[in-house]
Amino acid sequence: MENIHLGQHLKQANLTHEALQVGEIDIKIDAAEQSEEVYRTRRKPAEHESFFVMAGQFTRKELIMRRMQMPRGSDKE
């Protein structure tokens, strides 16, 4: 974990934002689900290795992607 370089954004996260702009809801939800899973997969080893700042960044992005799967103005849990 110490010698890895992570980019700023996932391709799926970029696709989520692009689909949102053009109104492609199904693509947005699918890309957000994929992004959420990738961030979760990155977060778990970071927590295990005690890289809590990195894990916190992944958690934040994971939750943003989870929120993007919900309808706007939704109180769905």
Which pLDDT value is given to residue 7?
Answer: 65
Q: Is the pLDDT of residue 67 over 80?
A: yes
**What predicted TM-score, i.e. pTM, was given to this entire model?**
0.73
Q: What is the pLDDT of residues 41-50, one digit of tens each?
A: 999 999 999 9
**Is the pLDDT score of 76 beyond 60?**
no
Q: How crowded is residue 62: how many other Cβ atoms within 10 Å of its Cβ?
A: 19
What is the rounded CA–CA span in Å between residue 31 and residue 65? 9
Which of 42, 45, 40 shows the shortest CA–CA distance to 64?
40
